[in-house]
Amino acid sequence: MSDLGLVHVYTGNGKGKTTAALGMCVRAVGHGLRALVVQFMKTGGTYGEGSLDIPGLRVVPSGHSCLVFSKEITQQDRDRAAEGLATAAEAMRAGEYDIVVLDEVNVAIKLGLLDARDVVDAVRSRAAGVEVVLTGRYAPPEILDIADYITEMREVRHPYQRGVLSRKGVDR
């Protein structure tokens, strides 16, 4: 029997939530485990992790990063998020992956792309031994309630405050 199967939440306004989740995935595949990352607010071509070719690690984009700055949520945005959740839910139920990351899912919930109850139901229906990581600012109480680990990233200083924009390979 696997000793995996816990739920992690990485939230807060500081940098490092996705980076921590990806680090866990890299560690896992280094031990021969399989990991899936479903990205709710990112496109594969914009962020470096979308181009990864690491055996045992699959990254699935299911949204677009501009949505955070957009004023209008479209049905297509909701449909893509629903597809991403369906992909993650099936992977968690099937037990094909040892770790399933729902990257930026908390932001997708905050923007109304997904309902927190649907995410909770998907996590609760996972196969035994599937570790789950939920990332993104604004983790709602429903998500925090199911977590075994809760890590809040807190911004103390960020170069953006000095006008340094997102840098390829470091921030994206």
Give pLDDT tens digits for 102-116. 999 999 999 999 999
Domain holding 87, by residue range, is 7-162
Report if residue 86 sits inside a domain: yes
Q: In the chain, how many domains are there?
A: 1
Is it the case that residue 167 has pLDDT exceeding 90? no
Report if residue 118 sits inside a domain: yes
Report if residue 1 sits inside a domain: no
pTM: 0.90
Report if residue 167 sits inside a domain: no
Report if residue 169 sits inside a domain: no
Kindly indicate the confidence band of residue 159, based on its pLDDT and cuts at 50, 70 and 90: confident
Is it the case that residue 25 has pLDDT exceeding 60? yes
Which pLDDT belongs to residue 1? 45
Task: Locate all alpha helices (DSSP H) within 31-151, ordered by sequence.
Answer: 75-94, 105-110, 116-124, 141-145
Q: Which residue has the tokens 């979308």?
A: 50
Whichever domain contains 102, its CATH number is: 3.40.50.300
Which pLDDT belongs to residue 171? 72
Spatial CB neighbours of 146, under 8 Å, sequence gap ≥ 6: 7, 120, 123, 124
Report if residue 124 sits inside a domain: yes
Report if residue 172 sits inside a domain: no
CA atoms of 143 and 166, how far apart (whole Å): 28
Which pLDDT belongs to residue 139? 98
Higher pLDDT, 140 or 62: 140
Sheet strands (E) in the chain:
7-11, 35-39, 57-61, 99-103, 131-135, 149-152
CA atoms of 64 and 81, how far apart (whole Å): 10
